[in-house]
Amino acid sequence: MFGEQAFELIKELERNSENLPPFNDEIVRGVLDEINAIFEENRKDANTVNETGDRSLIPLLMYRDASLYRNKRCVLAYLYNRLKRIKEMRWQFGVAIPNEIKSNLCEPEIQWFNAYTQNLGTYMRSIGDDIGLNLTDNVGPPKSLYVEVRCVTDYGKYELENGDVILLRENSQHYLPRVECEPLIRQGILEHLG
């Protein structure tokens, strides 16, 4: 029956919704071979219809054509969902995928992950006044608008957005708005406590 192997790929992803199963190269190649075989059969029968004018083969051509596109959609859905999960892993684990997960990836997926990581790094370095902005930090919403910080170096006077001026001395601790602390934390002037 047409499409059984392709549907097996979809079921495999559904069964392993929490983790990434090993890339099923055998079934993917089997589906691609089935697609090519269906295409060749349709090409031959389409030539027969064109040469003889016998329209009795048209329903069979349409059925096989629908099977061919179904197989294509299943393989593309399989590949897309795998890449989507790999992309999520970049945000979850950072630049290094754990070895037990990396062993489930095929070589093109590893190359895609490395290219995605490189593109993401280039983008993060390009924003934020030559300092960059790490988008992978604090992916979730903040728990509070204020954070407790310690001054690492003597910085001097610092004016907050509300007009208050605070003195940032080495080892002094402050409870400040998160938005105003983050640039100083990235510069290494403050460190987050807790």
Q: What is the pLDDT of residues 46-96, one digit of tens each?
A: 999 999 988 898 999 999 999 999 999 999 999 999 999 999 999 888 888
**DSSP per residue, 54-74:** -GGGHHHHHHHHHHHHHHHHH
**pTM (2 decimals)?**
0.70
Question: Span 34-57, mean pLDDT?
Answer: 92
**DSSP per residue, 152-181:** SS--EEEE-TTS-EEEE-TT-EEEEEHHHH
Beta-strand ranges (E) seen in the chain are 146-151, 156-159, 165-168, 173-177, 190-192
Give CA–CA dist 21/53, Å, rounded: 49
Give CA–CA dist 68/8, Å, rounded: 15
Angle at 154 between CA 149 and CA 159, to 5 degrees: 65
How far from 142 is each of 4, 129, 169, 183, CA to CA, in Å? Answer: 47, 23, 26, 16
Q: What percent of the chain is predicted at pLDDT more than 70?
A: 97
pLDDT confidence of 160, banded at 50, 70, 90?
confident
Q: What is the pLDDT of residues 136-151, one digit of tens each?
A: 776 677 778 889 999 9
Q: What is the pLDDT of residues 88-109, one digit of tens each?
A: 999 888 888 888 889 999 999 9
Give CA–CA dist 103/56, Å, rounded: 50
Give CA–CA dist 153/188, Å, rounded: 8
